[in-house]
Structure 1
């Protein structure tokens, strides 16, 4: 093996290492961009849901005492039961009535739901309503805390990927010994 052949082999190996490191940089750059885009889309979706629920929560600003009758247990899906009730209340001289479907809690069998109905019949109920649209009512006014926590976690992951991308970019510019 001559000196020129050996030198050519090392030169080829060095070029391959250069191409390999360039390929790794492109792949890592694309991975971080992809992770950032996916996380951004998820955060946007969860943020939209949270702010929609928060808007609905703040729209229900007034309340009135309600009369509830005709409690029903209905099957939503196979093995999932929920409670619905007819309500009636007075608002600014007019009587408003309708049917409210409780979204939570749900039950695995109708007997549990009927036991819960017996407890709820004895309570006095308040209906929450939007004063500009009194037909928009709810018997359950719950702050969307779970949605807010999910949004905060998504934003934390988004910031993590942003700082991680900057950190990896800085580390790739530093020449490490081989």
Structure 2
């Protein structure tokens, strides 16, 4: 992949996680990368094209991670999932889902579809992991696996958002609680 294109996507992802999709412009990217807006438009004619690519790269990264985790036992896969966003804490970032979901109604339709696909992929994988782990007596919970997946994912999303606002250890506290299933 072209280095300029990759840097545009990387920086857009950081901006989405830190200030949100609706709060950044191509000018923010061009200034930081010391390129012209036209260079961004060359790769991404519209901002939603860039947003879609950021979501797709997050999906690819998630799929790569869970592929690497397949050889691990259910508990370790779950622990890895719970700690997946640890690197965001020092920057007070939220995950891509936590950043885009609150502004879902204002997102272009192509981004809405990609975000739905990303969330469905995450919840599907987590539900399956929880279901298989429960069948093998690794996890103990009363809800359906899908409901438990929604609860866990939502807790992580909101803990990142609260950590951003409160700048405390809410994320770590939530993680500790989630690891006790």
Shorter-chain TM-score: what band?
under 0.3
Of Structure 1 and Structure 2, the greater helix share is in 2
Of Structure 1 and Structure 2, the greater strand share is in 1
Higher-Rg structure is 1
Calculate the TM-score normalised by the size of structure 2: 0.24
Calculate the TM-score normalised by the size of structure 1: 0.25
